[in-house]
Structure 1
């Protein structure tokens, strides 16, 4: 009897969300992040190659996608993209945890180009932009072009409603409003480019990132009883997190570009009161106007910042970003400046922590 062909694909390099070729998977559905036993290699051509082995002590980070209905035609197009006929890559099937999916491994031509000296021990191609060759601006735009299909996509029980990107530094970036959500019975629109900004901080600085990947039945920044907070609780319980940076979008009615939220009396900063000073300092360096911390204190509802600070004693800051800065299609320079500000702010926080710890 012929075995059924997999309807899923695991990708780990340039096809990953935000990668230079991620647009090819526009018709696929991201199911979840996952690790597959194997070894990831750097190649001399600007993309990675993975050799999968269930006995390997290392693992390859990637994304599992559901293929479109014309799966055989579609996977044929991926074969051409990956150079299967040219023996650059070969397609195989892996079975892991009761699930079968396609993967691409180096073919004979490519295997001659890799060695133990090319191993990426983290297993994550997006562990550093210099390594994966991604420009943060282009990455954010590519990421959001994929993310937009999930703005109003309802949970289907087969895919993760919230995506967690494992980082390497003790800063967690959260983006609970990257998809539509319901508050007090009313559907609220997504806050565009918030997940993309969180993913950039993961890509460049190695921050952990948690973002909404399906329409949320309740507002994660208003209620505690929701799936996003359940994942957040697990992350905060299982990992060392020194700061939560909760990213949001706001309208452009006010003249300021950014607004920090740290509680009515700055109580969410706990043992890190200098975080707010660094926020204002870096904003000034990049010519971004930062408003008062009293405008959006993040204290009145059950916000993510309050949840982290009150329940887990983790310092937290909510950042509200004006629409003006989140429009790369219309205001490219402002968006680039926003990226540089966020990177500069979080990097200053990280370096400050390292100075105090050693």
Structure 2
């Protein structure tokens, strides 16, 4: 009897193995990560410096996809009169994601005189509103980073569901694509994006679905030593986001 059960188990496992989906070819290359590191070095160099007279403290790169990417803390923001820490690595993650998916991205380039994720009355938010009105994105990705002590890989901030406007597929699809890259610990609304005048709250008020992505900074905080695993983790985060954005583009 035991022998028969063992044979059945082997047959079942063989059938399941035959039905398993084969992995896709990797998208992200060493050159992509090298470029991201170069970009991040520029962010780090300018992070605590205010923009020179006549220059803007944020930048836009235009694309043609139906996803808009925002990195409001790529550099240090001013909040309640004091410069705070930046969300290191989010600027390069956002820029690389935009380049690889032909998406529009808006991000800070110098220390912000007014935190775009805390106040609405600033040029960053006014420009973001213009982008949404003119480009009519299907979805806005609001990219942030959390302290590496956090237990999750990514926290999805949805204003307790309000910001995705009934589109549960946004969260489930993001989870699926990030799981394919090795992430397994997800959180929902640890940072709900409801406190203060967040980017996600601002975009939601305009009627556009938006999600705040709080990546554990192990995925965004670059270590330039080739011996560390973090560049691989950055590549995994970027690859998962690229595949998700391509999915959104193809399913209009």
Give TM-score, length-normalised by structure 1: 0.58
CA distance in 1 between counterparts of 2:249 and 2:30 reads: 22
1:88 maps to: none
* Structure 2 Cα separation of the partners of residues 228 and 169 of structure 1: 21
Which structure is higher in RCO with an 8 Å CA cutoff and minimum separation 6? Answer: 2
Q: 1:339 maps to what in 2? A: 238
One of 174, 191, 199 as aligned partner of 2:70: 174
Q: Deviations over 1:122-143 (max 9, x none)?
A: xxxxxxxx9xx99321221121
State the alpha-carbon separation in 1 of the partners of residues 103 and 178 from structure 2.
20
1:62-101 to 2 correspondences below 5 Å: none
1:297 equivalent to 2:196? Answer no
Question: How well do the aligned residues superpose, as a CA RMSD in angstroms?
Answer: 1.9
Where in structure 1 are there 5+ consecutive unaligned residues? 1-129, 354-358
Please list the CA deviations of residues 214-233 of structure 1 after superposition, one character each: whole Å capped at 9, or x if unmatched: 11122111111112101111
Query: Larger % of helix: which?
Result: 2
- Structure 2: gaps spanning 5 or more residues: 1-26
Structure-2 residue corresponding to 1:260? 156
How far the C-alpha of 1:234 sits from its partner, in A, is: 1.3
Q: Distance in 2 between matches of 1:205 and 1:251?
A: 27
For 1:48, the equivalent position in structure 2 comes to none
* TM-score when normalising by structure 2: 0.82
Q: CA deviation at 1:315?
A: 0.4
Structure holding more strand per residue = 1
Counterpart of 1:192 in structure 2 is 88
Moved over 6 A (4+): none
User: Structure 2: how far apart are the matches of 1:154 and 1:206?
Assistant: 29
Work out whether residues 181 and 188 of structure 1, in 8 Å CA contact, stay in contact via their aligned partners in 2.
yes
Q: Could you tell me which residue of structure 2 aligns to residue 313 of structure 1? A: 207
Task: Indicate conservation of the 8 Å contact 1:328/1:335, yes or no.
Answer: no
- Partners of 2:189 and 2:107 lie apart in 1 by 25
Cα 1:280/1:134, change in 2 over 3 Å:
closer
**Contact 1:328 1:334 (8 Å CA) reproduced:** no
Aligned length: 220
The answer to whether residue 171 in structure 2 is matched with residue 272 in structure 1 is no
SS at structure 2 position matched to 1:292: strand
Q: Does 1:183 align with 2:79?
A: yes
Displacement of 1:190 after TM fit?
A: 1.3
Indicate conservation of the 8 Å contact 1:246/1:319, yes or no.
yes
Deviation, 1:157, is 2.6
Q: Conserved in 1, the CA contact under 8 Å of 2:151 and 2:185?
A: no
Provide Cα deviations, 1:191-228, integer angstroms capped at 9, x if missing partner.
11111111111111011000001111221111111121
Q: 1:232 to 1:321 in 2, by over 3 A?
A: same
